[in-house]
Amino acid sequence: MLKRILFLPLLVAIICNAQSKKTKSYELASPEGKNKIQFQLVDNAPKYAVSHGKTEVISPSDMGFVLKNNEDLSSGFEIKKVENSTFDETWEQIWGEKKQIRNRYNQMVIELQQRSGNKRKLEIQFRAYDDGIAFRYVYPKQETKDSIFIMDEKTTFNLKEDGKAWWIPANRENRDEYLFKDAPVSTLDTVLTPLTIESKSGLALSFHEANLVDFASMTLVNTTGTQLKSDLVPWADGVKVRVKDSFTSSWRTLQIAEKPTDLITSYLILNLNEPNKLANPTYFKPYKYFGIWWGMHIGKFTFWESKKQGATTEHAKQYIDFTAKEGFHHLLIEGWNKGWTPKWYENHMHMFSFTKSADNFDLEKVVEYGKEKGVELIGYHETGSNLINYLKEIDEGFALYKKLGIHTVKIGHVGSKLNMKEWHFGQFGVNYFRYVLEKAAQYDLAVLYHESIKDTGERRTFPNMISREAARGQEYNAWSEGNPPNHLTIIPFTRLLSGPMDFTPGIFDVEVKQGYAGRRVHGTAAQQLALYITIYSPIQMMADLPENYEGKPALQFLKDVPTDWEDTKVINGEIGQYITTVRKDRNSADWYLGSITNEKARDLAIPLTFLDSNATYEAQIYADAEGTDETHNPSAIMISRKMVKATDILRLHLGGAGGTAVRFKKI
């Protein structure tokens, strides 16, 4: 590990200004000089600007806050101190999409104090990386004791030029489960981050935040022209953030790349989180899992007690047998507990039990049976967003799992508001999700959130934060008009920049013959295989029904594909059109490739230069069978093998809404 911290004297460019109201301009460049931040007080108000090479990305933009009673914390400042430092470290992800991550940046901390009134102090910390920039606000303890109410954040991102933004709306009933649309920045309303933009001059930009703790999530709103402004998600009473004495905002981040595919291999969000606080939580190792799950979504089973109930002891044993027979070790069983009714999702403070099993389900017996067969259950808590009920039972619920030797819990939060009152993304929700994560760690539980807040890189600090939904997943294909084919080619460049997603891929019967009429997956089965590579998550579901896997040769790919990687590279891709990703297994010498396309069929030539140049590999190729696309024979997968070397070019044909998955087995 290379670690270097240097405190430099004020290494700043001093620009003399004719206007007396501007102070010195302080400049911070990234280690290789790719990105630069300029900071200056203009009329005693902090302003920052960002450039990439010769391109101005963010023109001078506002900073600061408005507090209660309209008290301004964005002007009237003087600079008390400026401190520069540099940092370079390579750290190891205990599981992840890449093992070794370099965290290299230059930092500038500006200490400000207001000249009059309450003489409040505010510190702004800037970091310049070669793959982007970040800044955050630290409001230190002041001389007088205080309760702080942030009513608004003044930060703006004054984009120099317009661009195509890939957006989903903020503060809506279905949280972040919307289809991404593209529109000029200048026409956006309030949108969620990550917000990815293809700028007119050709840069790929992504706005997000990192290390969000005890603060409100940042959404972005277009205020004028191409200017975006931070719009913090409020509490029900309109206050944005309430804290005692001091606060540290999340990092406001802007990843900057020359092409969209490079955004995917930027680890800036993780780098801005604190190192692992859990040492090595040995109770979690990446895995793949089956579930009594898809059956409920397609209407074969019910979540609630009925003749069609999915979670019965009998079904559980059958699924355990299947899991064990196919050589897997994890099984999710939803609807195992008391409290489910046909109207459970209508969010009227629904009461679930987190300790009592449904009449037809014997939790202890099922766990015992699983143990005999080497299959561990994944715990499941649907809160229905009734957190008053959940938090009363959470300790008992977690203790039960610990006693039974269960090491993962999926926690759902269906409902448009938490406790029918607060947005998931507000400070209340942010604190709730952090509280549960830390509590889970006390019970040796890894957490899989559904209907959660966005990921801001928590997994670095708490590696029991394994995955989350936080976007439209596979389930929409079961009971809605579904996800159009371009959805899967957009999310790697948007939602997935924030962290792992539990998309629940692996539907082989893409026409969902046992499901609701007219509902189906809008893609091919080969594309479903490729998703195990294009979507990163340390746990991946094999979402289909056992009967749809039974005897299918393509199941071999699901057996082989790992969920823990040494390295990741994105070979090609255009947002909303196609993407090809390759990943190297952390526990073998093998590489895996996933390539997917939107509704358009595509031929791609893949140089295999990522392979070890001294070796030969057997490429095991799972491709769309000839003539296959979304509507023609979509479940047909053609499996072929050929010997390849790093000097070869592999030619792929993807049918419309199709894909190819490849295992490169080192010989």
H-type alpha helices, 470-605: 475-479, 486-490, 525-534, 546-549, 555-560
Smallest distance, Å, CB 432 to ligand NOJ?
17
Strands 539-541 and 287-292: parallel
CB of 254 to ligand NOJ, least distance (A): 30
Matching residue, tokens 């108000």 = 45
Residue placing its CB nearer to ligand NOJ in the complex, 136 or 450: 450
Q: Residue 444 or 475: which CB sits closer to ligand NOJ?
A: 475
- 59 vs 113: CA distance, rounded Å: 24
> How far apart are CB 199 and ligand NOJ at their closest, in Å?
34
Question: Is 653 in contact with 600 (CB distance < 8 Å)?
Answer: no
What tokens appear for 376 in the block? 């561990």
**Residue 163 belongs to what H/E stretch?**
strand 163-167
Distance of closest approach, residue 559 Cβ to ligand NOJ, in angstroms: 23
DSSP 8-class letter at 306: S
The verdict on 586 binding ligand NOJ (CB under 6 A) reads no
Measure the CA–CA gap between 549 and 526, rounded to whole angstroms: 13
Query: Omega before 194 cis (within 30°)?
Result: yes
Q: Which DSSP symbol is given to 309?
A: B
Build a one-symbol-per-residue string for 349-368: x at contacts with ligand NOJ by CB under 6 A, - elsewhere.
--------------------
Query: Is 310 among the residues that bind ligand NOJ (CB under 6 A)?
Result: no
Cβ-based nearer residue to ligand NOJ, 118 or 355: 355
Identity of the residue, 11 or 414, whose beta carbon is nearer to ligand NOJ in the bound complex: 414
- Binding residue for ligand NOJ, selected from 111, 131, 231, 334, defined by CB under 6 A: 334
The residue among 383 and 597 lying less far from ligand NOJ, judged by its C-beta, is 383
Do the Cβ atoms of 55 and 254 come closer than 8 Å?
A: no
Asked if 414 interacts with ligand NOJ (CB under 6 A), we say yes
Contact indicator for 493, 575 with CB cutoff of 8 Å:
yes
130 near ligand NOJ (CB under 6 A): no
CB of 659 to ligand NOJ, least distance (A): 23
Task: Please give the helix or strand (H or E) that residue 313 lies within, else none.
Answer: helix 313-325
d(CA 438, CA 272): 19
CB of residue 394 to ligand NOJ, shortest distance in Å: 16
- Does the footprint of ligand NOJ cover residue 66 (CB under 6 A)? no
Distance in angstroms (rounded) separating the CA atoms of residues 606 and 573: 12
For the annotated catalytic residues, the residue numbers are 475
552 burial type by CB count under 10 A (0-12 exposed, 13-18 middle, 19+ buried) = middle
Nearer to ligand NOJ by Cβ, of 219 and 302: the residue is: 302
Binder of ligand NOJ out of 36, 52, 127, 450 (CB under 6 A): 450
Indicate the residue among 414 and 646 with the shorter CB distance to ligand NOJ: 414
Please check whether residue 541 is in contact with residue 558, taking contact to mean a CB–CB distance below 8 angstroms. no
Taking Cα atoms as reference points, which of 404, 395, 307 lies closest to residue 363?
404
* Torsion angle, alpha carbons of 633, 636, 638, 639, to 10: 170
CB of 425 to ligand NOJ, least distance (A): 17
User: Residue 248 pairs with which residues in a beta bridge?
Assistant: 138
Write down the least CB distance from residue 512 to ligand NOJ, Å.
Answer: 16
Number of chain residues interacting with ligand NOJ (CB under 6 A): 8
Query: Is 227 or 474 the residue whose CB approaches ligand NOJ more closely?
Result: 474
Cα–Cα dist 395/383, whole Å: 14
CA angle 423, 428, 431 (to 5 degrees): 130
Of 131 and 382, nearer to ligand NOJ (C-beta) is: 382
463: closest CA among 486, 445, 485, 484? 445
412 binds ligand NOJ (CB under 6 A): yes
Residues with Cβ within 8 Å of residue 197, at least 6 apart in sequence: 159, 163, 164, 165, 166, 185, 204, 205, 206, 207
Q: What are the backbone dihedrals phi and psi of residue 545, each rounded to the nearest 5 degrees, phi first? A: -70, 145
Strand partners, 24: none
CA 564/CA 285 separation, integer angstroms: 9
- Scan for tokens 């001294």, then name that residue: 614
Q: Which of 439, 438, 395, 414 is nearest to 177 (CA)?
A: 414
Task: Give the nearest distance from C-beta 451 to ligand NOJ in angstroms.
Answer: 6
Cα–Cα distance between 24 and 79 in angstroms, integer?
Answer: 10
Residue 397 CB, shortest distance to ligand NOJ, in Å, is: 15
25 three-class SS: strand
Residue 544 in the binding site for ligand NOJ (CB under 6 A): no
Nearer residue to ligand NOJ within complex by CB, 74 or 540:
540
What is the smallest separation between the CB atom of 339 and ligand NOJ, expressed in angstroms?
Answer: 11
Is 469 a residue that touches ligand NOJ (CB under 6 A)? yes
Please, which residue, 469 or 509, has the CB nearer to ligand NOJ?
Answer: 469
- Please tell me whether residue 382 binds ligand NOJ under the rule CB under 6 A: yes
CA distances from 582 to 227, 296, 342, 570, 585 (A): 36, 33, 43, 6, 10
Q: Which residues are near ligand NOJ by CB under 6 A?
A: 293, 334, 382, 412, 414, 450, 469, 475
